[in-house]
Structure 1
Amino acid sequence: MFALAISLFVYPNSQQLVASDKSLITVYADGEYETIVSSAATVGEALEKMEITLQEGDLVEPAKESAINLSTFNINVYRAKPVLVSDGSETTVVHSAYHNPRLVAEHAGFDLHSKDIVTASVIDDFLLHDFAGNQVTIDKATQVKIVVDGQTVDARTHTKTVQQVLDEYGITLRDQDFTRPSLGTHVKESMNIEIVRVGSQVVSIEESIPFEVKTITDYNKPFGLYEEKSAGENGTRLVTYEVSLHNGQEVSRKLVSDSIVKEVQHKVIVRGGKIPQGADQDILRIIKDAASKYDIDLERAIRIARCESTFNPYAVNYNYTEPSTGTHPSGLYQHVEGYWPARAAKYGYEGASVFDPVANANVTMGMWRDGSAGLWECR
């Protein structure tokens, strides 16, 4: 017995004093250390044996479910404390045992970005905040999108202007590049910042010069004669432009040079203008009768006939083609041939030719009476 007592006294801290199915467990909680010898299988069982109760938010290391599988085992219990957490738009109180302010904020349910700034402080003025204790403040970074060189970058920043955002992300502008919005614009949440790359290129294009139809009236040739003096042939020009590009897309072009490669050959038609003897008097009589029938001012009717066809009932204006019908103004008062049949039928001259001066004059006077005089360019 004496020998045994000596042995126990000499080795008071030896693991030989702990049975093989038990562990020496040390718990740090509430600022104090407490040690027991226990056969507890998990951290949670050890805490129950030591009557240490966990509250909401308390943190245990290792976790309660961890197995105690060493002869010497340490457990730390960190007590949760109320912390006021705010990100400027939302404020909440969380019971947390974390000391790192970012961990406290995440424990409170705030979604943090790496650019968000999280700081801890102590609130002493209870009346001002209706709370006393620790506070965690989240200064959230402003979220923007940067569109540059065909890519979109989701960016977060604490800078104040577009220029500062570009500097932060290492984006440089060349001489003529610009941004939308401008560099001095203040940054706002969800702002889109576009970098416009400005470039230019010189482009040369060969363009066709369409020929025109020119009609010449020869009063020495009999009326009704039409002959082609020269066929038309398109010309060619070489045009050089300086093209301005924004992000590779053309936004404008400026003429640099314009040179004729091949001269245009206009089509020339000669028409006879010689009216048979006495025809003028006949035409004047036809106009007078039609004007009287529809109560139209005679002087006006004569003036417009002279303007439209120079009293020529067979006149055709080949310089104008009506797009919808593909026909030309014709006759004494220059009715478009494609419209003539319906007009003639309406005023009692169904089937008459547009070159019939009587029909042409009467249909015209009837249309003027009914309010269609505005269709004629001559006044």
Structure 2
Amino acid sequence: MMVVNYRDSFWRRVILSSFVFIGLAVLLFVSGNSVKAQEEASGRLVTIYDRGNQQVLLTEAATIADALTEAGVELDRRDVVEPRLDEKLVANEYKVNIYRARPVTIIDGAIRQKVMTPYQTAVRIAEDAEIKLYPEDDATVAQSTDLLTNGAGLELVVDRATAFDLTLFGKRATARTQAATVGEMLDEKDVQLGENDRVVPSLETTITPDIKVQVWREGKQTVSVEEEVDFPVETIKDADRPLGYREVRAPGVKGLRNVTYEITVKDGVESDRVEIASLETKAPVKQVEVIGAKLPTPTNPSENQVLGKAMMLQAGYGEDQWPCLYNLWMRESGWRVNAGNPTSGAYGIPQSLPASKMASHGADYMTSARTQISWGLSYIKGRYGSPCGAWNHFLSNNWY
């Protein structure tokens, strides 16, 4: 029969409870000190990297710029800081990189210039110096080896690609290459020649700045191009504006369309082109123009002629009709409003017979050049169709 020692069990429980109590007390003490430490260490942790040096700062600054000022960091206007100086500090931790401007000698063919720049790569240095680099150009950055000429610092050496004229399957453009020959250039640009493709000059020809390279495919083929679509123009005639006045009230915008042509090429020359498909990708926007339509009030034959031409054009006739109208009424009346034929009774610029016929166009038909010309143009249109039709009849019959 087993006997349980309650006394020993009791003390074990007492000892175990004591250890638990002590553990909880220690945990509360450590936790309290941690909170207190966090409260005492308020602010944001900023690590600054500057020319290989590292500086750590606990700050309550509002921006990156304020933090750098607090750390005693001086900046040149050409230095670059990432993140930006005006970035507000809202996170608990930041890493700030300072890129110091330093001298760089740029050697671009015969051109040599020195710049101060914080950038590290060839592309960024060239952009900072406002130098255009093309994808085919080679540009390398290295430590300067000519201390006597360039001094300490870096060198950016630009090896320009050769620019030349390239027509590739109907599309002409200025191309650039580092290749030595036409064949190497085509390989560089991943142009694969087919059985019916032709190249001029030969693939072995050396690439030079003045060379013109053409690649085409003999026979029929299709090409797709993007073309502009002209915008329509709506004209508003303003009778209160003088002739010659023009105002664009709403500018038009050209549209775009993708067009597919079937072309025929022989010996590198396009001999035929037929449109086989078209898709408008951007609709044109109509242009609205206001033009002056106020006709002058003439006082002599010369001014009558100016008015007559303007009214003739407004009536829908082309410029080619003006010599006929001018000669016709010059022979009839000399373009005089008060020209009268004492024998027949014909009167005015168009020599209306009788004069009262012109009353249908205005009560002032005896003195108004505008009224007389209006009637005369109406008469010519109804009887001969055009001023030249009337003039030809006059030449044959000496009347119209």
TM-score bracket, normalised by the shorter chain, equals: 0.3 to 0.5
TM-score (norm 2): 0.44
TM-score (norm 1): 0.46
Larger helix share, 1 or 2 = 2
